[in-house]
Amino acid sequence: MRTTWQVLRGPDGRLAAALTLPFLAFIGLFLLFPTIVVVTKALTPDGQFGLSAVQSALSGSYGRGFWNSTVLSATSALIGGLIGIALAATVRDLQRPAWLRSAVDSWSAVASQLGGVPLGFAFIATLGAQGVLTRLFATGGIDLAGLGVTVTGFWGLVVVYLYFQIPLMFLVMVPALQGVRRSWQEAAAILGAGPFTFWWRVGIPIVAPAALGGMLLLFVNAFAAYATVYVLNPSAQLVPLQIRFLLQGNVITGEEDLGNAIVACVIALLLTSLLLMTALQRRTLRWVNT
């Protein structure tokens, strides 16, 4: 199979290159150029190179915002990742009912992309102060808010994030688990290895890179979430909301580039996570494609 570079150099190379130009222009205009501008402004707050804006972005209330976003994203990624792996492992060997596998696949494809304002309002209608479940438990004398069960608190946000984190992890893990061939299990059984030994020595090492890469994807997905948390708790001390606050012009003199510095730090964090995720996925594909 020819590589992309070989195709571009072949007889149809000019046509292939022409077809990629609109995409490359889009990436350059709406991704690379804004990134370069933001990073430049973050590193030259006074017109000269300096790290004062970056230091401010990582200290004080803004530093707490990074910490809160990291803890929230890591918690939802870990819990969502473990549940998503368990769901994918269960569905992998599921034969009956026949409709259940396709139903789970369809739900995961939709739910993994269902975030933002609709998801926020859905949870407000369910667990908000006047939500359906809140009122239902109140009729039984149980005050969910008094027990700390709210959609505005830390664990409330984790539960909301899990709605799209679990199906996303399921979609990531299904191909990886399908890459564990049944012939390998049969060969291990012939050699006297039981199911536990096979998964401990063969299965888990194979799917571990996909699992770690999937959790990194969930971390990035949660860290960058904005609309959902804005609907649920606009005053939450999280990085996406702090960026919105600063880029709207709510800054004091001398901190005009603070928003750009925070965005630059977020770009560095997410880019590092994505590079690690890509490396782990490449390791997984070696087994899936064999």
pTM listed for this prediction: 0.83
> Does any domain span residue 37?
no
> Does any domain span residue 259?
yes
> Does any domain span residue 39?
no
Domain count, the chain: 1
> Does any domain span residue 41?
no
> Does any domain span residue 119?
yes
What is the residue range of 144's domain?
A: 63-288
Helix 204-223, helix 258-288: angle, nearest 10: 160
> Does any domain span residue 45?
no
> Does any domain span residue 91?
yes
Burial of residue 61, with CB atoms counted within 10 A of its CB: 0-12 exposed, 13-18 middle, 19 or more buried: exposed
**What's the CA gap between 272 and 54, in Å, rounded?**
17
CATH number at residue 93: 1.10.3720.10
Q: What is the pLDDT along the chain (290 residues), one digit of tens a residue?
A: 455 555 545 555 566 677 788 888 888 888 889 889 888 888 887 777 888 888 888 888 889 999 999 999 999 999 999 999 988 888 877 766 777 778 888 888 888 887 788 888 888 888 887 888 888 888 888 887 777 778 888 888 998 999 999 999 999 888 888 777 777 777 878 878 777 787 787 778 888 888 888 899 999 999 988 888 998 888 888 999 988 888 777 666 556 678 888 889 998 988 898 888 888 777 766 655 55
